[in-house]
Amino acid sequence: MWLLWCELIAVISIFCTSAALAQGNPAGAAGEPGLSPGVQAYESGQGSCCGASHAHGLYWMDPRVPTRADLLCIHGLGLCAKGYEPFGKRMAQEGIATYAMDVRGFGPQSHAGKGDKLDLNETVADVRDVLETIHGRHPDRPIFLLGESMGGSIAIRTAALYPESMSGLICSAPAWRIYKQKRTALKGLLALFLPRGHRVNLAAAGVIRQATNKSALRQHWLSDPDHRLNLSGREAFAFFRFTRRTPKNAGEISRTPVLILQGLHDRLVKPSGVARLFNRLPVRDKELILDISAEHLILEEGQFSNQVANAVVSWIERVGSAGPGLQPSERVVLLNASHETDKEERTVRQLLSAAGVGAAQRQ
């Protein structure tokens, strides 16, 4: 029991910190300054996303470009829907209408005192409702579900339960295996004896160093108030139990095409764990993209590279255009691999073995 609680505290400390770290400037409402010409961000006047009563969010579309697919994005712990603004704009310019919804307990409603407590199982139902509502409005377009970190675990669970609600699944660094659990657990335990307002900071210093080498992202974690870290004990335990089931959920995805993205320099989620997760997927059409230069966050808060964005668009095009006639493909792709170090090459070989794939393609 002691080890279980230590691991629980480690998980919560790491993912609260990593999610908060990436929070950036909020997305504006339609017509606000700062949006690219022709790219619009909308927020429902009722505070709901696409007709789902418990889902609050945003979406981006480019009226200059014919829309060919829809994409729903789920954020990481501590973040909210607006963290996908840069990515949503980029996808909109490619003809992919992009929606981002708040997980229960996060986002503007949470700050206003109107939000629900963190409830990942109910969030899965919210995600299903939003997917069905979007697709009901645009039945002629394929729809895809995307999640990063905690959002990746939510997306995997949704795909396992409701495969008919999506054309494909995209996950970035899905949360379940993390680094330095024992050390962070000790800091989390010590933090319990500090005043409530200082509890996260004891573990945060070390975790921030794990999360990124980018000073701007570190500063966001320290200064941006628009995130939520004060999980109750019940919420924390529920989060822990939910993410622990991620491998089991992945093992139940048998017919939904899957794209997984993972940064080789991720020091929060273990790339080896993600590679093993890829190997557990029984679906015949699956792809693992290893970004040699990326850290933990790949998609949120503008951390995506052009190579990553193009790879996501290409995958959506391939899966969306093929429909039921999709020819299965299983592969691992390396991005930004032109100047690998010897250590990176060894790590890639280990990940290929864990993923059950003999060789990788380089792009």
Strand partners, 170: 146, 259
Q: What's the rounded Cα separation, in Å, for the pair 181 and 197? A: 23
Per-residue confidence in pLDDT tens, the chain, 363 aa: 544 555 555 444 444 444 443 333 333 333 322 333 334 444 332 334 555 556 678 999 999 999 999 999 999 887 788 889 999 999 999 999 999 998 988 876 665 555 568 889 999 999 999 999 999 999 999 999 999 999 999 999 999 999 999 999 999 999 888 765 555 555 555 555 556 555 555 554 555 566 677 888 767 655 666 667 666 778 878 888 899 999 999 999 999 999 999 999 998 899 999 999 999 999 999 999 999 999 999 999 899 999 999 999 999 999 999 887 788 899 999 998 888 899 999 999 999 999 999 999 998
pLDDT at 170: 98
Q: What's the rounded Cα separation, in Å, for the pair 6 and 239? A: 14
pTM of the entire predicted model: 0.84
Spell out the domain ranges in the chain: 2-362
Q: What's the rounded Cα separation, in Å, for the pair 101 and 123? A: 10
DSSP state of 171: E
Task: Identify the burial level of 158 via C-beta atoms within 10 angstroms of its C-beta, where 0-12 means exposed, 13-18 middle and 19 or more buried.
Answer: buried
Q: What is the DSSP pairing of strand 361-362 with strand 96-101?
A: unpaired
Domain at 2-362: CATH architecture: 3-Layer(aba) Sandwich (3.40)
Q: What's the rounded Cα separation, in Å, for the pair 167 and 173? A: 20
Tokens for 290, please give them. Answer: 């290893």
Q: What's the rounded Cα separation, in Å, for the pair 24 and 82? A: 8
DSSP state of 151: H
Q: What's the rounded Cα separation, in Å, for the pair 47 and 80? A: 14
Q: What's the rounded Cα separation, in Å, for the pair 145 and 168? A: 7
